[in-house]
Chain A
């Protein structure tokens, strides 16, 4: 053979490999989103043509919350502020002092939420958030009482279910009114 180069020197220069890998890395860093999606999880009721009638229920068991197009709250027939909503809902559900006008027991308690088509989404969501927070706090207290542990994802599913069965979350949403401007 004419060539006298040894086989050992026939290597590809891998010095630029790092640069190529860096380029790819930066591309992925730029195009990806790290933000995770969080939110309030809701189970919608299956569609039915007729509306559930809550007027048939015992009035003391219904905690009605109305939100109008001006984002004002009407809780059980009287004007209320959103900051009181959580406490009032908790008191209504658990009824610690056995008042006549609050729910007979937590299993019978129903929260009825009704809004207007002109209600702000932000207001609606914060109302929903407060109502859910009321239940979460009740679950937490119950869990502390029963197991001495906070109600969290770490708790076994069976225990969580036992807590939830004592305070079942029943939130009924009525068809909204259409008084306000959309």
Chain B
């Protein structure tokens, strides 16, 4: 019996927390690698419609975003309520699309440039007129791969 009796001191032994920072750092690095930073503030109210035949956009660095929708309430005094387009973080006209595409293109390695996709994030309530103008401009600028951003629909 007494052979196995442990010799415990009065003070209980503490769990070492020395490795806690390492664990947290590991989590941190995981999140840093996996996520992409929010690129721009959205000035438009955009609720994309629902669809079923969706494809995932794989490489984020090959995607440029064009937003179309009504300006948010705090911008309505300045920009009105008619649907507008947003490129990057500011309101833009259709004629600015080629410059925007070019700015994105130079950041992409040359051999990947033919896979650049334009993601159109358009509010469901917008009429097709402005989208047609955007599409025509994209075709004229030779940007033909387009993704109509949509949410998955529950069947």
Contacts and interface: CB of A to CB of B under 8 A. Distances in A.
A136 interface: yes
A119 B127 contact: yes
Contacts of B63: 37
B52 A129 contact: yes
Nearest to A131: B53
Given A44-B135, A176-B132, A120 B147 contact: no
- Chain A interface size band reads 35 or more
Contact of B128 (A14, A18, A24, A117): A117
Contacts of B88: none
Interface string B74-117: 00000000000000000000000000000000000000000001
Interface string B119-140: 1101111111111100110111
Interface residues of B, number: 55
A45 B144 contact: yes
B150 A125 contact: yes
**Interface SS of chain A:** mixed
B139 A32 contact: no
B55 A28 contact: no
Interface in B45-93: 48-49, 51-57, 60, 63
Given A34-B35, A38-B150, A43-B144, A120 B54 contact: no
B55 A38 contact: yes
A21 B32 CA distance: 12
Contacts of A178: 129
Given A14-B18, A21-B25, A121 B127 contact: yes
Contacts of A22: 24
Interface in B16-48: 17-18, 20-21, 24-25, 27-28, 31-32, 35-38, 48
Given A37-B149, A42-B148, A122-B125, A18 B139 contact: no
A122 B139 contact: no
Interface of A: 14-15, 17-18, 20-22, 24-25, 28-29, 31-34, 36-47, 69, 115-122, 124-126, 128-129, 132-133, 136, 175-176, 178, 180-182
16 contacts: A14-B18, A25-B27, A33-B35, A37-B56, A37-B147, A39-B48, A41-B55, A42-B146, A43-B145, A44-B143, A116-B128, A119-B128, A125-B150, A128-B148, A129-B52, A129-B53
Given A41-B117, A42-B146, 20 more contacts: A18-B24, A31-B37, A32-B31, A32-B38, A36-B57, A37-B119, A37-B147, A38-B55, A38-B57, A41-B145, A47-B142, A69-B127, A117-B129, A118-B127, A120-B127, A120-B128, A121-B127, A125-B150, A126-B51, A181-B127
